[in-house]
Amino acid sequence: MSTLIELKNISASYNGDPVLENVNFSIREGDFIGVIGPNGGGKTTLLKVILGLIKPTAGEVVYNREKLKKNRIGYLPQIAEGDINFPVSVKDVVLSGLMIIKGHSARMSSEDRKKADYVLQELGIHHLSNKSLNKLSGGELQRAYLCRALIGSPKLLLLDEPGNFVDTSFEQGFYEILKDLNETVTIMMVSHDVGTISTYVKSFACVNRKLHYHDSGRITTEQLKAYDCPIQLIAHGDVPHTVLKRH
């Protein structure tokens, strides 16, 4: 399996406060990595370093340029509720995913619009194209943002807590979509729900300033402890879920 991106001795900080320290980690083609760790552990920062949005204070991110052209990373950012309270159409949000590739002042061609139609159809929300973002349900919103991340035909998909929008009944369907996508797209997804995602992911990256890579979709409480990933067990109905402890 070839490596898409290699992080070599990466450290990152904000205003001198260290957030990531000596991270060594490779993203292998075809992997489905669940990124877990406590709040404030540096998960979002890690994704931003990979995207080149944050410059590390030390170390190097090496991209496999043969496999991964600049436009081939799709990103679904961590979104808080207040962020989506503006009346923009679903289609425009999806098209905005191309701005990363084409630049902010670029005009959208008819081919771009066809691409938007295609991903909206693929994810079963084409009928919502002209609907305003702030009128969508959590599950619809989640799909709209996934379309935005997918419109550039990414090789690598970075998802930051996509489960935030929805209740657990919606989540299963979303993860099934990701599982299908993972046949052709490498995925790295931040989540707090270790129990649920362990059904879908192939490996875990435990991030708490340091990063420990666990090359299996099954992880025990003991292993999480050994990786310095504090956790808490809670129950959803009959099924016990492992959810990471808040700081």
Instruction: Using CB under 6 A, list all residues that contact ligand ADP.
Output: 14, 19, 37, 39-45
Distance from C-alpha of 65 to C-alpha of 78, rounded to nearest angstrom: 26
Name the minimum Å distance from CB 72 to Mg ion.
Answer: 23
Determine, following the binding rule CB under 5 A, whether residue 186 of this chain makes contact with Mg ion.
no
* Residue 209 dihedral angles phi and psi, to the nearest 5°: 65, -50
* Stretch near Mg ion under the rule CB under 5 A, chosen from 38-46, 97-105, 126-134, 237-245: 38-46
Name the minimum Å distance from CB 170 to Mg ion.
Answer: 20
Name the minimum Å distance from CB 76 to ligand ADP.
Answer: 14
Distance from C-alpha of 244 to C-alpha of 231, rounded to nearest angstrom: 4
Task: Give whichever of 39 and 184 is closer to ligand ADP, judged by the CB atom.
Answer: 39
Q: Which of 5, 10, 31, 44 binds Mg ion (CB under 5 A)?
A: 44
Name the minimum Å distance from CB 231 to ligand ADP.
Answer: 14
> Of ligand ADP, Mg ion, none, which one sits near residue 72, judging by CB under 5 to 8 A according to partner kind?
none
Q: Between residue 71 and residue 100, which ones bind Mg ion under the rule CB under 5 A?
A: 78
Name the minimum Å distance from CB 242 to ligand ADP.
Answer: 17
Quote the distance between the C-alpha of residue 151 and its chain's center: 15
Distance from C-alpha of 73 to C-alpha of 205, rounded to nearest angstrom: 18
Binding mask 101-140 for Mg ion (x = CB under 5 A): ----------------------------------------
Task: Give whichever of 16 and 237 is closer to ligand ADP, judged by the CB atom.
Answer: 16
Task: Give whichever of 114 and 247 is closer to ligand ADP, judged by the CB atom.
Answer: 247
Which residues make up the interface to Mg ion (CB under 5 A)? Answer: 43-44, 78
